[in-house]
């Protein structure tokens, strides 16, 4: 890839992914229940080798994968991304035993992973989390903790098979006292419920009532959990932008097709200057977001020092752009786009959440400003 365009092989691969998502993944997504984990869809992602790509790809390839899947099947894209978000801390900070047990199952689509960071009182300010990890005196010399508290807005909860959980062990204030744990879903004291949300993917609440965890459940060292969380988010933030770009491109292409054939005022919609100018703006913003996402991913792959800033910029611009493009696509389609089952009705519900999760737009602006003044 140059700074401005993908190579021929990359373009071909993206085209194949778009076709695959429409032909093989869309039918499975349509059979799923909104707000629930779609295990047949996950199994197909595993059988196609796409989940394996989560652990073998660089940031740019991950972006191309997510963008291409999002264009044809947002549910497949989200199912894949959530597997990566929940399992990447196991890959980067887990023990050999944790990796050997869980990662093959995640790659195959047999085990559902989840990333449990947000809480009712700690969303954008992740360092303020309050889930308590108290020393477990019942374990004796072996050591261990009991987790007590709540997690909320957790994707794949409460149906995941394991959770990457961030809890306060108290080695220091704020982020310095956070530890990451791998918590299987069948641990005693762990329960949860599904939450009905605007977006169609599964989200829930988790309750920890003295859930036991030991040294064998640690992901990294005690007190270093916030670094595990941020390393994961720095990798996935540009690809959240890629997800948004995929949705924007789908909405843009639908708008081009619609306005080119929709009769209006003796011609078609595309003949109207106001329509043409709006479509031109949609296309320009989408292209700018795409290039910024690719640049951020390239910086991550190159090990550049300014990854936090560029990742934040990519997520911010791409998610805000996708909201703009989808909204204007709905406007140009008119009432038909509001009908349940229409592509744009679906995208309108999907596109709102990425401006909030993995750091809201306001948080991304804070990160950008902090990095600029550093």
Quote the CA–CA distance of 286 and 350 in Å, as a whole number.
17
Residue that is written with structure tokens 């270093």 in the block: 224
3-state DSSP assignment of residue 118: coil
Quote the CA–CA distance of 233 and 132 in Å, as a whole number.
22
Cβ contacts of 110 within 8 Å, gap of 6 or more: 43, 46
This prediction's pTM: 0.93
- Reading the block at residue 305, the tokens are 């020092």
Q: What is the DSSP pairing of strand 162-168 with strand 113-116?
A: parallel
**Is-catalytic flag, 358?**
yes
- Reading the block at residue 294, the tokens are 């690719």
23 DSSP assignment: I
Q: What are the pLDDT tens digits along the chain (374 aa)?
A: 556 678 899 999 999 999 999 999 999 999 999 889 999 999 999 999 999 999 999 999 999 999 999 999 999 999 999 999 999 999 999 999 999 999 999 999 999 999 999 999 877 776 788 899 999 877 655 679 999 999 999 999 999 999 999 999 987 777 788 999 999 999 999 999 999 998 888 999 999 999 999 999 999 999 999 999 989 988 888 899 999 999 999 999 999 999 999 999 999 999 999 999 999 999 999 999 999 999 999 999 999 999 999 999 999 999 999 999 999 999 999 999 999 999 999 999 999 999 998 889 999 999 999 999 98
3-state DSSP assignment of residue 267: strand
What is the reported pLDDT for 3? 61
Let me know: does 90 contact 102? Beta carbons within 8 Å.
yes
Cβ contacts of 175 within 8 Å, gap of 6 or more: 126, 127, 226
Let me know: does 96 contact 142? Beta carbons within 8 Å.
no
Give the domains, in start order, of the chain with CATH numbers. 8-108 (1.10.540.10), 113-222 (2.40.110.10), 227-373 (1.20.140.10)
Residue that is written with structure tokens 């054939």 in the block: 261
Residue that is written with structure tokens 């890959």 in the block: 91
- Whether residue 158 is preceded by a cis peptide bond, meaning omega within 30 degrees of 0, is yes
User: Tell me: the pLDDT tens digits for 81-123?
Assistant: 999 999 999 999 999 999 999 999 999 999 999 999 999 987 7
How far apart, in Å, are the Cα atoms of 240 and each of 100, 136, 320? 28, 38, 12
Residue that is written with structure tokens 């080695």 in the block: 171
What is the reported pLDDT for 123? 72
Quote the CA–CA distance of 307 and 299 in Å, as a whole number.
6
Cβ contacts of 173 within 8 Å, gap of 6 or more: none
- Reading the block at residue 233, the tokens are 């988010």
What is the reported pLDDT for 9? 94
- Quickly list H helices, the chain: 8-20, 26-31, 39-47, 50-56, 59-72, 74-93, 96-108, 225-261, 273-302, 307-333, 343-350, 361-373
Cβ contacts of 285 within 8 Å, gap of 6 or more: 248, 321, 324, 325
**Residue 51, CA atoms < 13 Å, CB-side half-sphere:** 27
3-state DSSP assignment of residue 188: coil
Q: How many CB atoms lie within 10 A of CB 178?
A: 27
User: Tell me: the pLDDT tens digits for 225-273?
Assistant: 999 998 998 888 889 999 999 999 999 999 999 999 999 999 999 999 9
What is the reported pLDDT for 175? 76
For 189: left if phi > 0, alpha if psi spans -120 to 50, otherwise beta; the answer is: left
Let me know: does 71 contact 249? Beta carbons within 8 Å.
yes
- Reading the block at residue 281, the tokens are 């703006």
Q: Please name which of 30, 34, 21, 115 lies closest in space to residue 350, comparing C-alpha atoms.
A: 34
What is the reported pLDDT for 4? 67
Residue in 75, 216, 358, 371 annotated catalytic? 358
What is the reported pLDDT for 349? 95
């Amino acid at each position: 890839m140059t700074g401005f365009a993908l190579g021929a092989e990359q373009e071909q691969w993206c085209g194949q992914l778009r076709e695959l998502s429409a032909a093989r993944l869309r039918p499975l997504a349509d059979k799923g229940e909104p707000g629930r984990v779609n295990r047949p869809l996950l199994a197909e992602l595993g059988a196609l080798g796409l989940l394996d790509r989560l652990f073998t790809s660089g940031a740019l390839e991950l972006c191309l994968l997510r963008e291409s899947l999002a264009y044809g099947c947002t549910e497949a894209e989200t199912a894949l991304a959530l597997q990566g978000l929940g399992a990447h801390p196991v890959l980067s900070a887990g023990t050999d035993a944790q990796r050997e047990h869980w990662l093959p199952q995640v790659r195959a689509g047999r085990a559902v992973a989840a990333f449990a960071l947000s809480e009712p009182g700690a969303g954008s300010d992740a360092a303020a989390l309050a889930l308590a990890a108290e020393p477990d005196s019942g374990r004796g010399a072996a050591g261990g903790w009991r987790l007590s508290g709540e997690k909320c807005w957790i994707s794949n909860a409460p149906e995941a098979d394991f959770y990457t959980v961030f809890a306060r062990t108290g080695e220091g204030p704020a982020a310095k006292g956070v530890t990451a744990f791998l918590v299987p879903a069948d641990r005693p004291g762990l329960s949860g419920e599904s939450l009905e949300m605007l977006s169609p993917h599964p989200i829930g609440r988790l309750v920890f009532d003295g859930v036991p965890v030991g040294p064998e459940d640690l992901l990294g060292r005690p007190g270093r959990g916030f670094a595990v969380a941020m390393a994961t988010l720095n990798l996935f933030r540009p690809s959240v932008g890629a997800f948004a770009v995929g949705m924007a491109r789908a909405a843009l292409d639908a708008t081009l097709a619609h306005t080119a054939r929709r009769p209006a005022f003796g011609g078609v919609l595309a003949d109207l200057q106001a329509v043409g100018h709006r479509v031109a703006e949609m296309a320009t913003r989408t292209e700018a977001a795409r290039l910024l996402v690719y640049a951020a991913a390239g910086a991550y792959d190159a090990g550049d020092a300014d990854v936090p800033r560029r990742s934040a910029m990519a997520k911010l611009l791409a998610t805000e752009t996708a909201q703009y493009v989808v909204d204007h696509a709905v406007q140009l389609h008119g009432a038909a786009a509001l009908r349940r089952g229409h592509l744009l009705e679906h995208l309108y519900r999907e596109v709102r959440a990425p401006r909030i999760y993995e750091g809201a737009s306001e948080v991304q602006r804070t990160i950008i400003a902090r990095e600029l003044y550093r």
